[in-house]
Structure 1
Amino acid sequence: MPTLSPLLASLALLAATPPAERHPFGVDDLLALPRVGAPAVSPDGKLVAFTLGRAAADESGIESSLWVVATDGGAPRRLTSAPGEKVSTPRFSPDGKRLAFTAARGGAPQAWVLALAGGEAAQVTRLPAGAGDLLWTADGQALLVATDVDPACGSGDACAARAAPEPGAPRLATRLLFRHWNAWRERVRTHVLRVPLAGGAPEDLTPGDRDVPPYQRGDAGDLALSADGGTLLYARITDPVEAISTNADLYAVPLQGGPARRLTEGPGWDGSPRPSPSGKQLAWRSQARSGYEADRFRLLVGGPAGEEPRDLTAGVDLSVDEVVWTSERRLVFTADEGGLANLYEVDAAAGGVRRLLGGANLHALSASRDGRTLAALVDGFLRPPEVAVVQGGKVKVLTRFGDEVMARVALPSFRPLGAKSRDGAEVHGWLMTPPGHRAGERHPGVVLVHGGPQGAWKDAWSFRWNPLLYAARGWTVVLPNPRGSTGFGQAYQDAVRMSWGGAPFDDVMALTDAALAGGEADGARLCAAGASYGGYMVNWMNGHTDRFRCLVAHAGDFDLEAAYYDTEELWFPEWELGRPWEDRTAYERWSPHRFVQRWRTPTLVTHGELDYRVTVTQALSTYTALQRLGVESRLLVFPDEGHWILRPKNARVFHDVVLSWIADHLGRSPAPAARPDNP
């Protein structure tokens, strides 16, 4: 397993410096931490703009403002201060003298422009559905703004107005993927509008009945301007039924008008277009397999229209995440490897991937015009995100907003955890011990199973499932990365397919055993919790092992066949388990509901009613089964949350209930003798 980088080791040392008084990390600390995000470096590399969020006074949401900090050091400077605003997407103008951003100030987010020399921000859009992703045109005279429109009515303000949601209006669906995550989208599409700053009607650059960028899987990284500024490059889903497709292709459309031109035709996802500084090359991320959202992302480079592409990452078992050009010949990218997020460099002509930084969890990359300054967020298990720059191969942290909170906290320790699974495979994870842990001490243990299943526990911060909250209660925390997890090679990741409760369950148990063998966790006092796929795994555990005193299942599937029919992204279950009307084998073999007669472990079930990925009916079914079986259980439902519990006031309730549930059961006398694990 890899070791901690010098960067994160130094950050951990800074955060762990003993203050006069320390207390265990609690929910109050988590909610009090400022949330740094969306770094954008200026064209000359001298400034980084970013957002800073804090929980609102009533904890109803996160309020945020716009800030800048100099890359050569100095105190960050706040640029906006409207009461209750929510700011995102800062973008420097081509000349570096202005900042565009989106801000919600009492309504839908709109685009604003602020002169760095001083003065008030000017509102640029008044779109009924709000402004999303932003780009500047090369001449600085207009913004390209993503917003929802009604594609049936043409273009312009009227179409944008018709896309605005009408509370309580009936919903009529005529296609699949009519809803996504927590929103209904039965008659709207995201389009990119050219909005002149001097006034005038917006122009729809991506008309038609398709989303740009694709809201299903795409983001702001799937939009880019050509090097000469005359062409918008974007990703678009091309298959007729979007709910079963992971196929996107790159397109190019002139800003001055004309038809869009298709650049790629691969069977999988082609996105993240990145023109080289001269415009003579185009790089992008590409997946080779159709229907598989977690296939390895390759880094391809071709001519300016994507012609004659070459795979620069063919010789490494890495999945490329974020990509930027640092010169006409070199690109850098991030990728997960062994539970760490690393930064790599590759020669666009000769290939040859080289690791630049190991374990520096850099994300949200932004490069200066000359590529010499790279801005990003950096964080770790023990360090919340801060703005940093990479210059000359070294990381310099520019902000310290989290220091005030973290300096008062007694921090845990963590180390890599390895084990050999039932079939002999080497599996991986992390182990976190409570603050003040001493060699030879055994603590109650909590196993946290991550979602996905193509996700991972890595040395990174989380504002949702933060293991520090569990370690602070005096528990040893096991963070397994079973098969299906990302960052351990594509074969390791692929191994979860058609085996949801098979090898991954064995891996979780093997890593739990490794924690017990290491002496840090007490096998007689264990609980387990998980969300999404982790919630599914918790439900699976309930029918296959009695070794846990309690379980927590958040947003977890109960009946896999029913879940196929009530989810929205159908490509996911079709790849993982097949189409149930063609072959129900995997659905029947791995569905937790088929083993409810063996459930006996006390279980807390939590869910958001607006969750369309795993619908609330799965939680209700889980709870009903537990109650009818006479198993101690509780149900916690949030009417205003989706797949994640995001509102601070709800997060407080969630953590209080979950931590209390686990504490109540770990503090009890030993459970009755357990039956052997029965996979």
Structure 2
Amino acid sequence: MTIRAAKFTPEVMLSAPRRSAGIPNSDGSKILYSVSTYSFDEHSKKSEIRMLDVESQQTSLITDSPLARSPTWLGDDSILLLVSTDEGETHVVVGETGDANKWDIVGEIPGPVGDLKIKQIDNDTFAFAVSGKATPDGELFNPEKAKKPLTSGRLYKKMFVRHWDHYVDENRNAIWLGRLTKTDGKFKLSELKNALKGTGLECPIQPFGGGDHFDISSTGFIFTAKDPDLDPAMHTKTNIYFSTASSFWAGDDGIQSIPTPQKIDIVGFEGASTSPVFSPNGKQAAFLSMKTDGYESDKNQLFIIPDTRTPNWVIHALASANGKGAWDRSPSSIIWTPDSTSMYLVAEDNGRICLFAYRFELKPKPDLPLMILKGGSISDVTPLKEGDLFISSSSFIDNSLYSLLPVHNTVPGHVFSLPDGIKSASTTTKYISSQTKNGGMFGLSRKQIDEIHWPGAAKGTKIHAWVVKPSFFDSKKKYPLAYLIHGGPQNSWVNGWSTRWNPAVFAEQGYIVIAPNPTGSTSYGQSFTDAIQGQWGGLPYEDLVLGFEWITANLTYVDTNLAVGLGASYGGYMMNWIQGHPLGRKFKALVTHDGVFSMTGQMASEELYFPFHDIGGTLASSPAAWAKWDPSRFTANWSTPHLIIHSELDYRLTMAEGLAAFHTLQTRGVESQFLTFPDENHWVLKPENSLLWHEVVLDWINGFVGLEKYTEARKRALEAERESMQ
């Protein structure tokens, strides 16, 4: 980390090194990681793979090739990398930790692959799995060598036509399996086989599926895939499939044959199944599944295959009579303990991403998972050989933290071993490394973060909100309000790092940032999340109105007469909804990023199951429900200055939504601006585009609340710096 900033600005955030989750060796003494840094002076990105020696806290360069990725340990002394070539192929290379300049090419894969997984079978044999696109005949697709079509036309006879940010073509994701063997000290990778060839199945599932969609063990592999008999635009149902054999990885030159994947049936669960993972000994497996088809934010519930020799023997852990599950949290990932007896679950809880411990036992009233680490936002958990946990996480003020959770003392009355002195659902980690020195490199600190609650619109609910203050906060002064509304709507503001919507960037401009989690938000129980259905402009809007009133009455350091509102996706919908309703008159300015203007525009989206579920039917069957929460019905009230942002490659909420909102504002004579990016999707990801996004947004809102425009302040600072150097 070479950046030390007196003030946290968009340039500082976007040019700061971005470090991946850490990859520890077996005892956690050495940590592999990838890191990328963007330079606005050189307009280029630098990528490195490095290794941290935990004891000395020194890092060493493994490679600075921008083509290298997926660092993986082979034992404790060898490192494997995937390296792209100019011809679109992938080289598999192996090197020793003590000789980072010497790499052996141990395999050549004829196309681009990723999501690498390796499982040691014996001392000299490793199972090898990657994902990559397959052509219709099952061969690995290489876009650099593919024959170019003579026409740009595409004919579709079913949905999807396009998905997220690309038009769907005939190639599909597949899992490629092989065997890595070591003979006379040299590694060699066998030819890879398409494990899904001829099945009609696709894994990982687009657009965001990755290594969490499949796993390998000493006896086979397990994965999730969309149900091939259902239209993917209308259904969320995915199935778990299992392929196993006692000699799965055997063969003279690689895998002899791959058994046809077997579908795992789960009675009563028709939604998405994800996160399949084997126990370390390969004798058990676990996965997550949702009950309701068409609802992508249903609760994940835990299922266990207690004996992989009989994969259709599936146990619903933490079951309840009503089918909703005994544990009112929705885990996102499963990590087995090294002894294969228990597991850890990562799940959101009250605006944080936390870690829970769980041991399945067949008894009438099983113990619920126990919180053992309260986030922040935990992004990755790796058990070490002695059972301790290596944790990668972030927070509002720290973009990358590595820590160790010792696991060696038993909590009375619970089956799990936990750190000394722990008697409740919180614990202390051992610090390993912070990319930003706990935010200090950015001039940020934990004292800037606070939390508030207010009574919600629905009886008995309380709305939780994060408060982020400037580093120069003075309780005796008043600051303008930046009211940030999250997307989803089944989502939440969690105490984690973001380079797209970072509350600290707004706070350091001089705002009190309040980021509420209204009705529909995740991490507060499934009933609270489900309550958004049929209520898009109802309960959440009322929660936000009540919050604005509560802030005005209770936070003396917030000047709600100088308030701005900002939101993206559903948050953008809410900005458009607020613009047409009384709360809109409370703001000096609004910002909508990729928001909904007209509900009927949702019919141009790709995943139609989403509006059909949330609104309560199709446009044809429920036209009144679609019209009820349509922001375009209230454009006669639009009068607050409004910045609209929408990008060309956003196929989830199409470009027409942003243009329609901007044109409405312009024809009404409302002060407004429109920012668009032809090469961005639902998110703005390219550093130069992101910097422009921040410049435009901050200039827009600052100009309405009496703060200096961001670009003017930056220009003044640069001129002062030049003068001081003369």
Determine if the TM-score, normalized by the shorter chain, exceeds 0.5.
yes
The aligned counterpart of 2:563 is 526
Instruction: Supply the distance in 2 between the matched residues of 1:63 and 1:107 (Cα, whole angstroms).
Output: 21
Give the superposition deviation at 1:389. Answer: 2.9
Count of matched residue positions in the alignment of Structure 1 and Structure 2: 641
1:234-383 equivalences under 5 Å are 234-238=223-227, 239-254=229-244, 255=248, 256-265=257-266, 266-303=269-306, 304=308, 305=311, 307-312=313-318, 314-326=325-337, 327-349=339-361, 351-352=366-367, 353-368=369-384, 370=385, 372-383=387-398
Cα deviation for residue 306 of structure 1 reads 5.0
- Over the aligned positions, Cα root-mean-square deviation in angstroms equals 2.8
SS in 1 for 2:483: strand
**Aligned partner of residue 399 in structure 2, secondary structure:** strand
Stretches of structure 1 that go unaligned for 5 or more consecutive residues are 1-18, 670-679
Q: What SS class does the counterpart of residue 620 from structure 2 fall into? A: coil
CA distance in 2, matches of 1:31, 1:164: 38
Does the residue aligned with 2:221 lie in a helix, a strand or coil?
strand
Higher mean C-alpha deviation, range 614-623 or range 117-126: 117-126
- The answer to whether the Cα contact below 8 Å between 2:111 and 2:140 also exists between their aligned partners in 1 is no
Inter-CA distance 111–502: structure 2 relative to 1 (3 Å threshold): farther
Rounded to whole Å, the distance in 2 between the matches of 1:544 and 1:628 is 19
Q: Tell me, what secondary structure is at the counterpart of 2:429?
A: strand
2:403 maps to what in 1? 388
CA distance in 1, matches of 2:43, 2:361: 51
Decide which moves more: 217-226 or 199-208.
199-208
**SS class of match (1:572):** helix
Once the two structures are overlaid, the 10-residue window that deviates more, 212-221 or 499-508, is 212-221
Whether the 8 Å contact between 2:31 and 2:53 is mirrored in structure 1 is: yes
Partner of 1:662: 701
The residue matched to 1:29 in structure 2 has which SS? helix
Change in Cα spacing, 1:629 to 1:520, as seen in structure 2 (3 Å) is same
Deviation at 1:284, TM superposition (A): 1.1
Q: Deviations over 1:421-441 (max 9, x none)?
A: 344432111122222222242
| Alignment partners' CA distance in 2, 1:87 and 1:600 | 52
% identical equivalent positions = 26
For residue 431 of structure 2, what is the aligned residue in structure 1? 397
Tell me the CA shift for residue 231 of structure 1.
Answer: 0.5
Say if 2:107 and 2:190, in contact at 8 Å, map to a contact too. no
How many Å separate the matches in 2 of 1:316 and 1:404? 33
CA distance 1:463–1:253, shift in 2 (3 Å): same
- Structure 1 equivalent of residue 689 of structure 2: 650
Decide whether aligned partners of structure 1 residues 285 and 427 sit closer, same or farther in structure 2, where only a CA change above 3 A counts.
Answer: same
CA distance in 2, matches of 1:647, 1:221: 25
CA distance in 2, matches of 1:570, 1:124: 45
DSSP-derived class of the 1:608 partner: coil
- The alpha carbon displacement at 1:264 in A equals 3.2
Q: 1:495 aligns with which of 520, 524, 531?
A: 531
- Asked if structure 1 preserves the Cα contact closer than 8 Å seen for 2:404 and 2:432, the reply is yes
Q: Where does the alignment leave 5 or more consecutive residues of structure 2 unmatched?
A: 181-187, 249-256, 320-324, 408-418, 420-427, 709-726
CA shift, 1:195, in A, is: 4.5
The code of the aligned residue for 1:270 comes to: S
- Is residue 222 from structure 1 mapped to residue 213 from structure 2 by the alignment? yes
Partner secondary structure for residue 614 of structure 2: helix
State the AA in 2 paired with 1:324. Answer: I
Are residues 418 and 89 of structure 1, via their aligned partners in 2, closer, same or farther at CA, if it must alter by over 3 Å?
A: same
Contact 2:94 2:105 in 1 (8 A): no
Alpha-carbon distance change, 349 to 96 in structure 1, aligned in 2, over 3 angstroms: farther
**Pairs within 5 Å for 1:558-577:** 558-563=597-602, 565-577=603-615
Looking at CA atoms only, which structure, 1 or 2, has the larger radius of gyration?
A: 2
Residue 602 of structure 2 is aligned to residue 602 of structure 1:
no
SS of 1:343 mapped into structure 2:
strand
Q: Is contact 1:29-1:405 (8 Å) kept?
A: no
Task: Return the alpha-carbon distance in structure 2 between the equivalents of residues 525 and 145 of structure 1.
Answer: 52
Distance 1:133 1:643 in 2: 23
Give the counterpart letter for 2:241 in structure 1.
Y
Q: 1:624 aligns with which of 655, 660, 663?
A: 663
**Mapped partners of 2:675, 2:586: distance in 1:** 24
What is the rounded CA distance, in whole Å, between the counterparts of 2:305 and 2:612 in structure 1?
32
* Rounded Cα–Cα distance in structure 2 between residues aligned with 1:659 and 1:165: 43
Q: Aligned partners of 2:107 and 2:660: how far apart in 1?
A: 45
What secondary structure does 2:481 align onto?
strand
What are the Cα deviations for residues 384-441 of structure 1, in whole angstroms up to 9, with x where unaligned?
1233332224423333332398435255712111111344432111122222222242
Whole-angstrom CA distance in 1 between matches of 2:612 and 2:145: 34
Shift in Å, 1:613: 1.1
Change (3 A) 1:102 1:182: farther
Q: Structure 2 CA distance, aligned partners of 1:158 and 1:218?
A: 18
Say if 1:86 and 1:620 are closer, same or farther in 2 by CA, change over 3 A.
farther
Cα deviation per residue 1:187-211 (whole Å; 9 max; x = unaligned)? 1100111255646643111114331
Asked whether the 8 Å contact 2:90–2:108 carries over to 1, the reply is yes
Q: SS at the partner of 1:534?
A: helix
Alignment of 1:190-201 (within 5 A): 190-195=173-178, 198=188, 201=191
The Cα of 1:442 is off from its aligned counterpart by 1.7
1:410-429 superposed matches below 5 A: 411=445, 413-424=448-459, 425-429=461-465
Amino acid at match of 2:221: L
Alignment-derived partner of residue 24 in structure 1: 7
Cα contact 1:39–1:365 (8 A) shared by 2: no
User: What does residue 487 of structure 2 align with?
Assistant: 451
CA displacement at 1:447 relative to structure 2: 0.5
| Counterparts in 2 of 1:109 and 1:26: CA distance versus 1, 3 Å | farther
Shift of 1:596: 1.0
SS at match of 1:523: strand
Q: 2:112 matched to 1:130?
A: yes
Once residues 436 and 584 of structure 1 are traced to their aligned partners in structure 2, the CA distance between those partners, rounded to angstroms, is 51
1:476 corresponding residue in structure 2: 512
Q: What is the aligned partner in structure 1 of residue 522 from structure 2?
A: 486
Q: CA deviation at 1:162?
A: 7.7
Gap change, CA 1:413 and 1:555, over 3 Å in 2: same
Which residue identity is paired with 1:215? Q
Contact 1:149-1:190 at 8 Å conserved across structures: yes
**What secondary structure does 2:331 align onto?**
coil
2:625 matches 1:586: yes
Paired residue type of 1:501 = G
| Letter of the 1:342 counterpart | C
Q: Distance in 2 between matches of 1:599 and 1:329?
A: 59
Give 1:31 deviation, angstroms: 1.5
What does residue range 200-211 of structure 1 map to in structure 2 within 5 Å? 201-207=191-197, 208-211=199-202
Q: Which amino acid aligns with 1:279?
A: G
Give the TM-score taking structure 1 as reference length: 0.88
Are 2:571 and 1:553 aligned?
no
Alpha-carbon contact 1:47-1:68 (below 8 Å) kept: yes
The one-character-per-residue Cα deviations of 1:195-234 (angstroms, maximum 9, x if unpaired) are 55646643111114331121245321121112xx130111
Q: Post-superposition shift, 1:44? A: 4.7
Q: Give the SS at the match of 2:566.
A: strand
TM-score (norm 2): 0.82
| Aligned with 2:540 (options 481, 499, 504) | 504
**1:148 corresponds to which residue?**
133
**1:99 to 2:79 alignment:** yes
